[in-house]
A = this chain, B = another copy of it.
């Protein structure tokens, strides 16, 4: 691809600047004494020079050459090739195998049966330009994994994104989905929420389609002329009820080893309740065009050249899906670099290797940087580098169907991970643009430090500086102020959608999810067109952001493994917890105001007065006004955490400025073992209400959002779901873990103080 001249010029200028900027002005790294910090930086500079775009390109071409989903021959072949790579880098590596329930389709059908007949294609055509698009025999067809089998014929109803609020809108129009097949568009929630909520409302089937406004022609030329989804492109994907528990549906909470105790399929709680199939917009248009009923609101309209209507009637649809329900093998590839002085503190770095089809962007664009990191670390080991802590480099299988490989591995090694896991670093897709940083807030300051040391390939600013600029450009007034004045850019909390979930939310291992993106649009997600041809034409075509990702995650891994003391920070954490409490208070008062306003409008007769007799609507139901709720216990706990964080920070600064490097080092070492439990303290083995697998009391995927995070989930979801009676107990439980965290940090602060 053509590289604009301006970029090369600015590259040269900035390179000069970088050389000039490198010297002594570099701050001491968090968790390191001055001396260790200098040594660390030298190793990191060596490290960052190693990853090569050409290697990543070659590895991507090899790994995406054939479909490599769970159970396919090329999935196993890839795992063995990755194993061989790790070994060739000089690392100790092996494959760990699990056996999981993974249904694949035998029969699929979607037909409009009235008022006219139309048979959906359910096929993505091969394209002559794209050499891997014709591997039909090996590829999984378009489907949603963990849909139950079904064969239903019923009226069709359009439900927008299919989230709970959409059903409130349907109710205003007196439209029920009871006994109907719903058609929802992708977006607005994780896909698995759509059939879940549809089933809760009595639907008997669910279609999910990709609207061209969201990732089709509205966003650019369609593949192969551009990056966007063509008319027959389909988004595959799992609809397993992952917010209940991810991983093998038959072995919740335990590794799906050969001899694991398995539930009968009939008792697996994470299969859908109704049959589901995904379809293209080419197939969706005739179905949606056939819908009658009232017009949908503007926010429900997509990009098809039709009038969007709710239904039901006259469109009637036949939906059929039948799968084989057998166990398939998983191949997790695990490479280990044992720690020299703290072998029982594990820093784990992972990316999955399985895909829905050829999977270039998802996940190989994230995996090939990981391989380059591993190669580079192998080279450093030979040059005499010895990480203090153990580094584990993992290539997970079965992420796509339900985080299978990571979850089963995490469950199989749960006891060890709960005590030894000090960080999990995840990546998945990777594209051009800005560094995305999400994760545990005890790592917020740490990862900001890493981002300050990575060069952006396009602007040759640091990736931190570029992200700050974007936050200023796109943020609200408050976000702009924050981005300008706060020492660290804020990182988002983690919901779900990739392999960090079992580590963070089941086991309490501090986690980060990292990746670049934001400059290129894409419409090939989970289709046969997410392949080497697409990626090398429309994404990070020169793999410079692949190199940036390797530099970012590799540096983070090394720094975590080498630090004199775990580079956790509690000041940002405490501030963030206070922010969450503010949000909860606003949520509660907002719910009260909304209920009062709604009830007043009902009382005033506003809904009756504004009813249009030509398109009648029904007033929404009156709401229970939530009682006043007390967050005092949580506020007090957060205050304690703030104080403890200040004490730790002061003690840390004193230890570091003592001028006696050896003494400082031993002070830090003394508290390392205490800090190692920081994140785990936020978990509770009883788990969240209705979903005990999720044990982290600060971060969880939303029960009705799926990927989207709910922070302080027990309290937040009690308010959102109007279970006001549950709020008090939830506040008490969360306050308990925050207080425990405060006590741990205080004990670390005083241990540090004693060391001086």
Decide yes or no whether A98 CB sits under 8 A from chain B.
no
The answer for the CA separation of A217 and B221 in the assembled complex, in Å, is 23
User: Is A601 interfacial (CB 8 A cutoff)?
Assistant: yes
Contact across chains for B459 and A608 when beta carbons are under 8 A apart: yes
A613 adjacent to chain B (CB < 8 Å) = yes
Q: How far is the CB of A17 from chain B (nearest CB, A)?
A: 13
A228-B307, A432-B612 are known contacts; what are 13 more A-B pairs with Cβ within 8 Å?
A: A4-B613, A220-B307, A304-B305, A305-B305, A458-B612, A459-B608, A459-B609, A461-B609, A465-B609, A470-B609, A473-B601, A473-B606, A519-B612
The reply on A338 being an interface residue by CB < 8 A is no
A605 neighbours in B (Cβ, 8 Å):
469
Q: Is the CB of A486 closer than 8 A to any CB of chain B?
A: no
- CB of A238, distance to nearest CB on chain B (Å): 29
Residue numbers in B under 8 Å from A217 (CB-CB): 305-307
- B220 and A295 contact, CB distance less than 8 A: yes
Q: How far is the CA of A520 from the CA of B613 in the complex (A)?
A: 11
CB distance from A545 to the nearest CB of B (A): 12
Question: Which range holds the interface residue count of chain A?
Answer: 35 or more
**A670 interface residue, CB < 8 Å from B?**
no
Q: Which residues of A contact B (CB under 8 A)?
A: 4, 6-7, 212-213, 217-221, 226, 228, 295, 301, 303-308, 432-433, 458-459, 461, 465-466, 468-470, 472-473, 480, 519-520, 597, 601, 604-614, 616
Known: A305-B303, A305-B304. A610 touches B220 (CB 8 A): no
- CB atoms of B614 and A432 under 8 A apart: yes
Cα separation A461 to B6 with both chains bound (whole Å)? 67
Q: Which residue of B lies closest to A433 (CB)?
A: B612
Choice from B473, B608, B610, B613 contacting A610 with Cβ under 8 Å: B473
Give the complex CA separation of A609 and B220 in angstroms: 24
CA distance A613 to B4 in the complex (A): 7
Q: Specify which chain B residues have a CB less than 8 angstroms from the CB of A306 in the assembled complex.
A: 217
A-B contact pairs, 11 of them (CB 8 A): A4-B614, A6-B613, A212-B305, A218-B308, A220-B295, A304-B305, A305-B305, A458-B613, A461-B609, A466-B609, A469-B606
User: A519 and B614 in contact (CB under 8 A), knowing A469-B604, A472-B606, A609-B469?
Assistant: yes
Query: What 9 A-B pairs are tightest by C-beta distance, nearest first?
Result: A469-B609, A469-B606, A305-B305, A7-B613, A519-B612, A4-B613, A466-B609, A217-B307, A473-B610
Identical chains in the assembly: 2
A4 CA to B520 CA in the complex, in Å? 52
How far, in angstroms, from A520 to B615 measured CA to CA in the complex? Answer: 10
| A221–B606 CB distance below 8 A | no
In angstroms, how far is the closest chain B Cβ from the Cβ of A451?
14
Q: How far is the CA of A610 from the CA of B649 in the complex (A)?
A: 34
Contact of A219 among B295, B473, B480 (CB under 8 A): B295
Q: Would A218 and B470 count as touching, CB distance under 8 A?
A: no
With a cutoff of 8 Å between Cβ atoms, the chain B residues found around residue A303 in the complex are 301, 303, 305
Write out the residue numbers on chain B whose beta carbons fall within 8 Å of the beta carbon of A597: 480
Q: Which residue of B lies closest to A601 (CB)?
A: B472
CB distance A472 to B4 under 8 Å? Answer: no
How distant is A353 from chain B, measured CB to nearest CB, in Å? 28
Give the residues in chain B near A604, CB-CB below 8 Å: 469, 472
Q: CA A304 – CA B473 in complex, angstroms? A: 30
Which residues in B have their C-beta under 8 angstroms from that of A611? Answer: 459
Question: Considering the chains assembled together, what is the distance between the CA atoms of A519 and B612 in angstroms?
Answer: 7
Determine how close the nearest CB of chain B comes to the CB of A289; give it in whole angstroms: 10
Cβ distance A620 to chain B, nearest Cβ, rounded Å? 11
Closest B-chain residue to A285, C-beta based? Answer: B305
Contacting residues, chain B, for A469 (C-beta < 8 A): 604-606, 609-610
A307 to B222, CA, bound (A): 9
Distance between A599 CB and nearest chain B CB, rounded to angstroms: 13
